[in-house]
Structure 1
Amino acid sequence: MDPVKTRREGAILEVTLDRPKANAIDLATSRIMGDVFAGFRDDPDLRVAILTGGGDKFFCPGWDLKAANDGDAVDGDYGLGGFGGLQELRGLNKPVIAAVNGIACGGGLELALSADMILAADHATFALPEIRSGTVADAASVKLPKRIAYHVAMELLLTGRWFDVHEAKGWGLINEILPADQLMNRAWELARLLASGPPLVYAAIKEIVRDAEDAKFQDAMNRITQRQLATVDTLYSSEDQAEGARAFAEKRDPVWKGR
């Protein structure tokens, strides 16, 4: 069975990790996901992606320890974009929504953290239990202390304890909590809203955020105003930039062409 299923509607791509029983990711699945997300990145007709898990119990528990025991190397070939195809994919300048439909732990939580927005079903739970397996949650060790309070991030990393959606929402890790039967409807509603927006602006926002993550404020601003970022330079010379101003002056909705 195909462990990664896709559904396309207009400019939106839904990606479902569907690898029973738990949607764990082995090397082969990671490479498939990398190809899927690289295809999303490179398709000019796609604007937004939704990532979710198959079933109603697991979003993703991360690395497939059974596959590792059978010979999959933890430092093996994960394919484009690294583990899960998303968290190290270069040049991904389109919005990605994670719809967490159940347990998201270890690399599964790291995968969700790679999205731009996270929606979660009200029964979802989270953890970074790698410490109990004698290994490190590498991507989470980089990302989590930048997303939430340092001492909370360190507690979660050092103890591996579980926490629910309400705690996750309280720490700002997720955007919305939803009843399970409303999760995907809300994800698609949000995706359609984003798909109707200006793709060149989204691209510029994502590149600016990445570029400025470890930069001093003025250095980041100088790179933007001097048009040193490719997406910003494209935006400032685009038809969409002129269309936005024209639509405002004419008191109508803009028509975004992505050029």
Structure 2
Amino acid sequence: MTVSITAPWYNPGFGNRSSRLIMARTTDAVEVERAGDIAILRFNRPKNLNAISIALAQGIATTLIELDSDDTVKGIVLTGSGERAFCAGIDLMEARGMQVADIEQWFGTACNVYKQILLTNKPVIAAINGIAAGGGFQIAMVSDLRVAHPGARLGQPEINAAIPSIMGSYWMSLHLGWSKNQELSMTGRLMEAAEAEGLGLINYMVEQDQVVSKACEVARTLAGKPAVAWARTKARFREIALAGFDEAFRAGVLGQQESYAKGEAQAIIEAFLASRGAGKS
């Protein structure tokens, strides 16, 4: 199977600020509040554990672009609404209806969030207020630093939904060694916060009610670093992170297309939703 990358957002030269795509404004899927010069961007789908829908992905990407261009904003904190989840990964209610022909743009819309986080010049801190799974875990991994509480759980459970862990394993390769990456990608198990902290994935551990305020403090500290040194340091990490992005994206599209073509993903997703009383859409 071959794939041609034609999704409207996709541009191999996307690393240049001038090539950023300004997406349609989505106001209900995200909320923004200010803590002085720090913007707090909340994923606003608490009843769905802040799962990544197309609307949420577009809202995050658009809002990041706007906040990065706002001179009154010095740093950005990403967090989830409610107390249960930072972001529980893909929206299974949307994923259940996907066709093979939809995969490229659907996957591309989610991957655009990761890329926009990396392209944001200001500090971006993940305030992990609950579960961070799959795409939510990946949002945390591409943020500059991560704050969490002891009850948070993190990981890459996609394989258990018949979705290959390809983009997630790529991001983990930047943080973890081969063996731990394989274990987490191939078992799909979620880590307790203490384990993630021990692996260096969580930079600061605080009580749950302090996660966002600590993240704002960290963002403000980074924003106060010498401007040129900060910009060049962040740019270098961006270059490293994006070096293998295009290849991982293509591999991810192929893997998901194959899983959907065989019906594996649909069957497991339907069984999961049925077990929770979601029924047929």
Bucket of the pairwise TM-score, normalised by the shorter protein:
0.7 to 0.9
Alpha-carbon distance, 1:176 to partner: 1.4
Q: 2:222 and 2:199 mapped to 1: Cα distance?
A: 24
Match of 1:3 in 2: 29
Q: 2:159 and 2:242 mapped to 1: Cα distance?
A: 27
Alpha-carbon distance, 1:7 to partner: 1.1
Match of 1:30 in 2: 57
Residue ranges of structure 2 left out of the alignment (5+ in a row): 1-26, 244-281
Q: 2:229 and 2:154 mapped to 1: Cα distance?
A: 32
Match of 1:20 in 2: 46
Contact persistence 1:106–1:129 (CA under 8 A): yes
Amino acid at match of 1:5: E
Match of 1:92 in 2: 120
Q: Classify 1:68/1:176 alpha carbon distance in 2 versus 1 (closer, same or farther; 3 Å).
A: same
Specify which structure has the bigger relative contact order, considering alpha-carbon pairs within 8 angstroms and separated by 6 or more residues.
2
Q: Which has the higher helix share?
A: 2
Using structure 1 for the length normalisation, give the TM-score.
0.75
| Equivalent residue runs for 1:144-163 within 5 Å | 144-163=172-191
Q: Classify 1:213/1:132 alpha carbon distance in 2 versus 1 (closer, same or farther; 3 Å).
A: closer
Alpha-carbon distance, 1:169 to partner: 0.8
Deviations 1:24-79 (A, max 9, x none): 11111111111001112222332210000111111101110112224584432578
SS in structure 2 of the partner of residue 190 of structure 1: helix
Pick from 77, 101, 105: which aligns with 1:76? 105
Largest Rg, 1 or 2? 1
Q: How many residues get paired?
A: 213
Deviations 1:184-236 (A, max 9, x none): 22112222222333333322111122335699xxxxxxxxxxxxxxxxxxxxx
Deviations 1:91-117 (A, max 9, x none): 322211000000111111011111000
SS in structure 1 of the partner of residue 105 of structure 2: coil
Give the fraction of aligned pairs with identical amino acids, expressed as a percent: 33
Match of 2:129 in 1: 101
Q: 2:112 and 2:45 mapped to 1: Cα distance?
A: 15
| 1:63 partnered with 2:84 | no
Match of 1:112 in 2: 140
Residue ranges of structure 1 left out of the alignment (5+ in a row): 216-259
Q: Classify 1:112/1:62 alpha carbon distance in 2 versus 1 (closer, same or farther; 3 Å).
A: same
Alpha-carbon distance, 1:149 to partner: 1.7
Contact persistence 2:38–2:74 (CA under 8 A): yes
Contact persistence 1:103–1:125 (CA under 8 A): yes
Alpha-carbon distance, 1:170 to partner: 0.8
Match of 1:243 in 2: none
